[in-house]
């Protein structure tokens, strides 16, 4: 159990950065050889038409991560609110470590309810990604309200908070540290432990003496051109 | 003021609210659905009215009515939805009613697809409506610029008593960006409307006479006079509303012309070309109508080629040719169907085009 429970589901407020975190986590686990046998990512996002983890399907597969999403394998560019029945395979496969990437908010987390039987308390991590720079979760109270709504919709207990307060290219080490302090306030208010703070790989060295766990994330979902100033 | 992280569509809705918009009419269509969703819960909080119409035809007509009575109206849609709104936009031009419309465009023709596209260039700059009418069109390159343009568009629409269109694309609607939101303008109270908009239909009480808003003029000489009046406004718009940005034109061998998402890709392609020893620059039209023809006079003596880069089969290229007037050869780098090329693809195709003219 070095890497924690075999099933990790990622939820959070719409736009908090769940997908970037989920994809980075999958690649990190693949690099570490964390999967006992197999590694899978289930993209259950039925909310967004763009920026879904299935867009990285080819790169994930190349890294040895099976990617499950809609019945078309994410290839038809549609926004059909359907999930492939094959999603059950990695959830049932005891030899497969699986990351479940949900859509935003309670409406996105609702998808988990049909898979409730695969999530027994103590045998899964249900992570809630928290970003204080999003207007909907800019106070600990609002962040907890989202967390509770996600629990209600999914029928599952959130087991950990992932701090992901960022401003894309304007993110500094200070943004990350302040974000962590915010996540600790959410922890106090909700009783759900804050586990780590995400930051872009380029900022990670500046946080090597931080008194919290830093999880460096890639920018897999964001092409570099999107941040060019014109 | 501090930045907040927002999805494009949310930020566009918030920009309209902060501009003092007090009525929004919309119909769902991807990739702009978050706008009506956002307006449905945020506009009423700001004291405005949200109404989901039964179609885009209804949405634009409702906006026409609300704006005719002095409302600060906003509508948003995506490409096929904009086609449905064309009739209404023409009527609104003729009736001289201010309105701000946002197109978060996608692939076409027909229902097309839901990935980003720019193949509405001809639709937005030439109009699908009948008759002699023009609509100022602004194409932002990112969320912040789009927010600022929406905010300003309401003022422009009021000044010209004409619709103003913001042409963003699906990528901008769906991506996230830290933005600085402008100050909230107060919604104009009903009793103040007739003072600020004396032409508006606000009831008989405040008027000595009667305001009538219409687009029907049966007598040819009356209609001709009306159209000539509209074109006096459009001539002023052509003088006042030209917007563009340029980059590295002085010593560029290649000049890219790009708007919206494509301009960010070109900015990256320019950096990559420079690493290979090729100097490239860019003209970024922000106003698509009026098209910034004068930007092309800033092109330096080393330029061998002007390249239109578009997410369409090449629509802006006609305006570029009119602006270039045979001074340089004009090439095209494009993808369509919802595909956004990589900056590497732009680099390779630009080098090939450059070889062809050397």
Query: Which tens digit of pLDDT belongs to each residue from B19-63?
Result: 999 999 999 999 999 999 999 999 999 999 999 999 999 999 999
Domain ranges of chain B: 4-196+228-240, 245-357
- Is the pLDDT at A195 greater than 80? The verdict is yes
Of A77, A167, A222, the CB nearest to B178: A167
CB contact under 8 A, A49 and B284: no
Residues of chain B with pLDDT under 50: none
Contact A167 B3 (CB under 8 A): yes
CA distances from A199 to A97, A138, A229, B14 (A): 24, 18, 22, 28
CB-neighbour burial class of residue A205 (10 A; exposed 0-12, middle 13-18, buried 19+):
exposed
CATH 3.40.630.30 assigned to B245-357 = no
Strands B254-257 and B287-289: unpaired
A98-140 pLDDT, tens digit each: 999 999 999 999 999 999 999 999 999 999 999 999 999 999 9
CATH of the domain at A117: 3.40.50.300
Whether residue B267 and residue A48 make contact (CB cut-off 8 A), yes or no, is no
Closest CA–CA distance from residue A135 to any residue of chain B (Å): 7
Contact between B343 and A49 using a beta-carbon 8 Å cutoff = no
Interface TM-score (ipTM) > 0.90: yes
Residue with tokens 């999603």: A87
φ/ψ region of B47 (left if φ > 0, alpha if ψ in -120 to 50, else beta) reads left
Residues with Cβ < 8 Å from A125, sequence gap 6 or more?
Answer: A4, A5, A7, A8, A9, A159, A160
Which range has the worst mean pLDDT, A52-66, A76-90, B262-276? Answer: A76-90
Spatial separation of the C-alpha atoms in residues A121 and A54, rounded to whole Å: 27
Chain A contacts of B141, Cβ < 8 Å? 230
The per-residue b/e assignment along B207-227, b for 16 or more CB within 10 angstroms, e otherwise, is eeeebebebeeeeeeebeebe
**Residue B276 CB neighbour total at 10 angstroms:** 8
Q: Is the peptide bond before B41 cis (omega within 30 degrees of 0)?
A: no
**Could you say which of A15, A79, A225 has the minimum Cβ distance to residue B264?**
A225
Among residues B27, B98, B29, B39, which one has the least CA distance to residue B64? B98
3-class secondary structure for chain A? CCCCCCEEEEEECCCCCHHHHHHHHHHHHHHHCCCCCEEEEEEECCCCCCCCHHHHHHHHHHCCEEEECCCCCCCCCCCCCCCCHHHHHHHHCCCEEEEEEECCHHHHHHHHHHHHHHCCCCCEEEEEEECCCCHHHCCHHHHHHHHHHHHHHHCCCCCEEEECCCCHHHCCHHHHHHHHHHHHHHHHHHCCCEEEEEEECCCHHHHCCCCCCEEEECCCCCCHHHHCCC
Residue B207: its pLDDT value, please?
63
Query: With an 8 Å Cβ cutoff, are B175 and A131 in contact?
Result: no
Domain of A40 in residue numbering reads as 7-227
Q: How many CB pairs under 8 A join A and B?
A: 77
Give me the number of domains chain A comprises: 1
Q: Do B267 and A224 touch (CB under 8 A)?
A: no
Q: What residues have CB less than 8 Å from A60, skipping those under 6 apart?
A: A23, A26, A27, A41, A53, A66, A67
3-state secondary structure chain B: CCCEEEEHHHHHHHHHHHCCCCEEEECCCCCCCHHHHHHHHHCHHHCCEEEECCCHHHHHHHHHHHHHCCCCEEEEECHHHHHHHHHHHHHHHHHCCCEEEEEEEECCCCCCCCCECCCCHHHHHHCCCCCCCCCCEECCCCHHHHHHHHHHHHHHHHHHCCEEEEEEEHHHHHCEEEECCCCCCCCCCHHHHHHHCCCCCCCHHHCCCCCCCCCCCCCHHHHHHHHHHHHHHHHHHHHHCCCEEEECCCCCCEEEECCCHHHHHHHHHHHHHHHCCCCEEEEEECEEECCCHHHHHHCCCCCCEEEEEECCCCCCHHHHHHHHCCCCCEEEEECCCCCCCCHHHHHHHHHHHHHHHC
Give chain B positions within 8 Å (CB) of A14. 7
How many other C-beta atoms lie within 10 A of the C-beta of residue A81? 11
Q: What separation in angstroms does the CA of A22 have from each of A120, A160, A187, A215, B52?
A: 21, 14, 21, 12, 35
Please indicate whether, in this complex, the C-beta atoms of A170 and B114 are within 8 angstroms of each other.
no
Phi, psi of B249 (to 5 degrees): -75, -25
Please, which residues bridge with residue B177 across strands? Answer: B6
Enter the CATH code of domain B4-196+228-240. Answer: 3.40.50.970
Of B6, B31, B342, which has the smallest distance from its Cβ to A135's Cβ?
A: B6
Q: A76: nearest CA in chain B?
A: B113
Chain A hits for B174, Cβ within 8 Å: 48-51
Chain B interface disruption, residue of A45, A75, A225, most B CBs within 10 A = A225
Chain CA centroid to CA B76, Å: 11
Q: With pLDDT > 90 as the criterion, what percentage of chain A qualifies?
A: 87
Q: Sorting pLDDT into bands at 50, 70 and 90, what band is A1?
A: very low
Inspect the interface and report whether the beta carbons of B267 and A51 lie closer than 8 Å: no
Q: Which of B114, B247, B268 sits opposite A225 (nearest CB)?
A: B268
Nearest-neighbour CA in chain A from B86: distance (Å): 26
A2 domain-assigned: no
CA–CA separation, B314 vs A127, rounded Å? 46
Whether residue A133 and residue B178 make contact (CB cut-off 8 A), yes or no, is yes
Whole-angstrom distance, CA of residue A134 vs CA of residue A168: 12
Question: How many angstroms separate the CA atoms of B245 and B257, rounded?
Answer: 10
Per-residue 3-state assignment (H helix, E strand, C coil) for B203-223: CHHHCCCCCCCCCCCCCHHHH
Q: Which candidate from A168, A169, A230 shows the least CB-CB separation from B264? A: A230
For tokens 């209804």, what's the residue? Answer: B58
Q: How many CA within 13 A on the CB side of residue A124?
A: 24
Any residues with CB less than 8 A from the CB of B30 and at least 6 apart, and which? A49, A79, B78, B106, B114, B170
CB contact under 8 A, A15 and B6: yes
In a domain, A1, yes or no: no
pLDDT of A131-179, one tens digit each?
A: 999 999 999 999 999 999 999 999 999 999 999 999 998 999 999 999 9
- Amino acid B204: pLDDT: 75
């Amino acid at each position: 159990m070095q890497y924690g429970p075999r099933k990790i589901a990622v939820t959070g407020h719409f736009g908090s950065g769940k997908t970037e975190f989920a994809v980075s986590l999958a690649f990190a686990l693949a690099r570490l050889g964390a999967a006992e046998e197999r590694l899978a990512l289930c993209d259950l996002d039925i909310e967004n038409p763009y920026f879904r983890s299935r867009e990285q399907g080819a790169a994930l597969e190349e890294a040895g991560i099976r990617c499950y999403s809609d019945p078309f394998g994410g290839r038809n560019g549609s926004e059909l609110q359907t999930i492939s029945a094959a999603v059950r395979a990695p959830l049932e496969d005891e030899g497969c470590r699986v990351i479940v990437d949900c859509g935003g908010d309670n409406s996105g987390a609702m998808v988990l309810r049909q898979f409730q039987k695969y999530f027994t308390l103590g045998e899964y991590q249900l992570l809630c990604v928290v970003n204080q720079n999003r207007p909907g979760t800019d106070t600990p109270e609002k962040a907890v309200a989202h967390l509770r709504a996600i629990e209600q919709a999914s029928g599952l207990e959130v087991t950990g908070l992932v701090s992901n307060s960022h401003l894309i290219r304007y993110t500094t080490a200070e943004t990350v540290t302040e974000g962590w302090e915010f996540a600790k306030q959410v922890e106090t208010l909700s009783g759900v432990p804050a586990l780590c703070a995400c930051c872009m790989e380029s900022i990670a060295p500046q946080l090597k003496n931080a008194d919290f766990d830093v999880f460096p994330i890639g920018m897999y979902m964001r092409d570099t051109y999107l941040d060019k100033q014109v | 003021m501090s930045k907040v992280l927002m999805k494009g569509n949310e930020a566009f809705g918030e920009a309209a609210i902060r501009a003092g918009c007090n009525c929004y009419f919309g119909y769902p269509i991807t990739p702009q659905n978050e706008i009506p969703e956002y307006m449905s819960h945020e506009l009423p909080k700001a004291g405005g009215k949200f109404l989901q119409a039964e179609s885009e035809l209804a949405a634009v007509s409702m906006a026409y009515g609300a704006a005719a009575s002095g409302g600060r109206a906003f509508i948003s849609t995506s490409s096929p939805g904009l086609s449905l709104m064309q009739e209404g936009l023409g009527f609104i031009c003729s009736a001289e009613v201010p309105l701000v419309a946002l197109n978060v465009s996608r692939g076409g023709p027909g229902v097309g697809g839901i990935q980003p596209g720019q193949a509405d260039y001809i639709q937005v700059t030439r109009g699908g409506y009948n008759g002699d009418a023009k609509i100022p069109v602004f194409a932002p390159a990112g969320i912040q610029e789009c927010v600022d343009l929406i905010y300003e568009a309401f003022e422009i629409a009021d000044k010209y008593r004409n619709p103003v269109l913001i042409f963003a694309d699906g990528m901008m609607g769906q991506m996230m960006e830290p933005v600085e939101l402008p100050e909230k303008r107060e919604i104009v109270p009903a009793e103040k409307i007739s003072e600020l908009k004396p032409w508006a239909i606000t009831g008989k009480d405040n008027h000595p006479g009667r305001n009538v808003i219409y687009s029907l003029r049966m007598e040819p000489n009356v209609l001709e006079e009306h159209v000539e009046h509209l074109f006096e406004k459009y001539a002023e718009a052509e003088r006042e509303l030209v917007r563009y940005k340029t980059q590295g034109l002085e010593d560029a061998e290649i000049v890219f012309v790009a708007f919206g998402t494509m301009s960010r890709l070109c900015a990256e392609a320019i950096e990559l070309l420079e690493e290979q020893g090729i100097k490239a620059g860019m003209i970024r039209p922000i106003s698509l109508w009026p098209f910034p023809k004068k930007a092309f006079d800033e092109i330096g003596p080393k330029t061998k080629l002007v390249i239109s880069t578009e997410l369409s089969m090449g629509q802006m290229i006609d305006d570029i040719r009119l602006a270039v007037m045979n001074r340089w050869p004009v090439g095209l780098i494009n993808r369509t169907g919802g595909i956004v090329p990589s900056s590497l693809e732009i680099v390779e195709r630009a080098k090939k085009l450059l070889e062809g003219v050397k």
